[in-house]
Amino acid sequence: TKANLALYSATKTRFQDKSNLILIKYNYGSKIELVMKAVVYTEYAPDDNFAKILKVQDIDDPKPKADEVVFEVKSAALNYNDIWGMRGQPVPVPLPHVSGSDAAGDVIAIGEDVKNIKIGDKVVSHSNMSCRVCKACTDGREFDCTKRMIWGFQTGPTWGAFSEVTHLPEVNISKIPEKVSYDEAAAASMTLLTSWHMLVGRAKIKPGQTVLIMGGGSGVGSFGIQIAKFYQCDVIATAIP
């Protein structure tokens, strides 16, 4: 009934724009649950008819675990794994699903064990989730961790960037430099790290080498060009006109 629902504008703690409202469910005075909007799908679209499965729905606001950071999403980028997720191939993602592996925003809550992030910080996600204790992780090769998962792709249900608010462990959060926008940070979140991993981590490029970047107009490719130039390499790039 209408008596069980109320709209509350949290202009000081969460939203500055009064048009953004939080839906609060009252369980007859016993418990209050905050609800947020998210893009959710409950089935796959192997035919690529993504409009058929994507729905804006209310889901519960995240509550931080001891080591987690909760942030209001200001910008989120589209990654190709979002398309894989909606297709259900090559990896069947958990359902119901909220996609999104690249997000930037403002911290609104932290867990009791969080040390280096505070409420109000501008942050960006690091979607590579690994165990942090195996030989690969402790050798700086977290991409080779056998327990590695990609946040917003393999995580869930309903745990990704395409929501008003999301949460991550502190180790998967970085502060955004002052002169970097939310859009720029979200766009770089996974593509920059992928390029760095390929060129610096694996190829171990050195000054004076010639580096061929396939698909120089893509996210990974554009960052690859910049990284190679930063390492004083000669760059040859390909792109489709």
Q: What is the pLDDT of residue 240?
A: 86
**pLDDT score at 13:** 37
List strands edge to edge, sheet with 5-8.
Answer: 5-8, 22-26, 32-40, 55-60
- Predicted pLDDT of residue 121: 98
Question: pLDDT at position 173, please?
Answer: 96
Q: Is residue 228 within 8 Å of 235, Cβ to Cβ? A: yes
- Give me the tens of pLDDT residue by residue for the chain, a chain 241 residues long: 332 332 222 223 344 443 344 444 444 444 456 789 999 999 999 999 999 999 999 999 998 999 999 999 999 999 999 999 999 999 999 999 999 999 999 999 999 999 999 999 999 999 999 999 999 999 988 889 999 999 999 999 999 999 999 999 999 999 999 999 999 999 999 999 999 999 998 999 999 999 999 999 999 999 999 999 999 999 999 998 7
Q: Rounded to whole angstroms, how far apart are CA atoms 105 and 164?
A: 10
Close Cβ partners of 105 (under 8 Å, ≥ 6 residues apart):
71, 72, 73, 74, 75, 122, 123, 166, 182
Where does residue 53 rank: exposed (0-12), middle (13-18), buried (19+ CB within 10 A)?
A: middle
Cβ(73)–Cβ(164) below 8 Å: yes
Residue 49 neighbours by CB under 8 Å, 6+ apart: none
Q: Which two tokens stand for residue 230?
A: 């930063």
pTM of the model: 0.82
pLDDT, residue 3, reads: 29
Alpha helices in the chain (DSSP H): 50-53, 80-87, 135-138, 182-188, 191-196, 219-230
**3-class secondary structure for 95-128?**
CCECCCCEEEEEEEEECCCCCCCCCCCEEEECCE
CA-closest candidate to residue 204, choices 222, 234, 228: 228
